[in-house]
Amino acid sequence: MNDHDYKEYISEETLMGPSCVRILKELLETHPLQLSREDMVLDLGCGKGLTSLVIARETGAKVYANDLWISAQENSARFESWGMENRIVPVCEDANELHFEKGQFRALLSVDAYHYFAGKKGFFEQKILPYLKSGAEVLIGVPGIKDGYAGRSEELLAAWLGSEACMFKSPKEWKEIIGRHERLDCAETWEMACFDDAWNEWLAMDQEYARGDLVHYETIIKPYTCLVGIHVRLK
């Protein structure tokens, strides 16, 4: 994957945090997906659809772009402007109340969103597994706290995140949250290498939330946090 292919799409409008393109690049290069045009992929928490564009182009699969905060109508207009209206289906549903067919997806990806709704044991098994085919793969990238500071998110990150600090989990904690299930072939987590590039691209944006993050970057974000990669493969 060449992230420069998406340079024209990266803007204050489409980015909502550390560069999703950089995060997806590492996920897809670390665990390449072998998909066809007949396969369906769920992009869970797609934001303004930049992740869905990358997934569709890089895998060739049909992408269902789901987000609770951005309406399907808004994303539909964006996908049409990108010429992707036949490759990406916009959806606006709560991740806890999805209405897809059982076993519909060959893969699920989620970037900078999963921690908002999936930070408790049982969520993956109850809310995600039913929609995945046998042999499906899951790739997730989320902001988290380094393993050395596990369990101290609220103490160390509150000045930056307030009540949302509790959502930041370490790679080891995320592996425990995914848990074990008879359908899982493997589950792994790691501290992603793209942290600096993803954050620098976001902080360069002339955007209100990026400016707010910049205030805390050197004192809180950089020393304590990381980007957590999660890969799950089903039997």
How do residues 71-127 score in pLDDT, each as one tens digit?
999 999 999 999 999 999 999 999 999 999 999 999 999 999 999 999 999 999 999
What are the Cα distances from residue 2, in Å, to 5, 7, 25, 41, 139? Answer: 6, 10, 8, 21, 18
Mean pLDDT score of the chain: 97
pLDDT score at 58? 96
Q: What is the CATH number of domain 3-144+169-195+226-234?
A: 3.40.50.150
The string of pLDDT tens digits covering residues 6-45 is 999 999 999 999 999 999 999 999 999 999 999 999 999 9
Alpha-carbon distance 24 to 19, whole Å?
A: 9
**CA dist list (Å): 7 to 3, 11, 22, 225:** 7, 8, 11, 26
Measured distance CA(217)–CA(235) in Å, rounded: 40
Q: What is the pLDDT of residue 4?
A: 85
The pLDDT of residue 51 is 98
Give the separation between CA 15 and CA 9, rounded to whole angstroms. 9
Please report, for the chain, the start and end positions of each structural domain, with discontinuous segments joined by +: 3-144+169-195+226-234
Mean pLDDT computed over 37-63: 97
Measured CA to CA, the distance from residue 222 to residue 208 in angstroms comes to 19
Q: Name, in order, each residue with C-beta under 8 angstroms of 171's C-beta and a sequence gap of 6 or more.
A: 144, 147, 189, 190, 191, 226, 228, 229
The stretch 138-166 carries a mean pLDDT of 97
Structure confidence at residue 99 (pLDDT): 95
Confidence of residue 145 (pLDDT cuts 50, 70, 90): very high
Q: How far is CA 31 from CA 17, 36, 139, in A?
A: 23, 16, 8
Which helix (DSSP H) or strand (DSSP E) does residue 233 occupy?
A: strand 225-234
d(CA 26, CA 134) in angstroms, rounded, equals 24
Burial 67-89 (b: 16+ CB within 10 A, else e): bbebebeebbebbeebebeebbb
Query: How long a stretch of residues is the chain?
Result: 235
Model pLDDT, residue 3: 84
The CA distance from 208 to 45, in Å, is 21
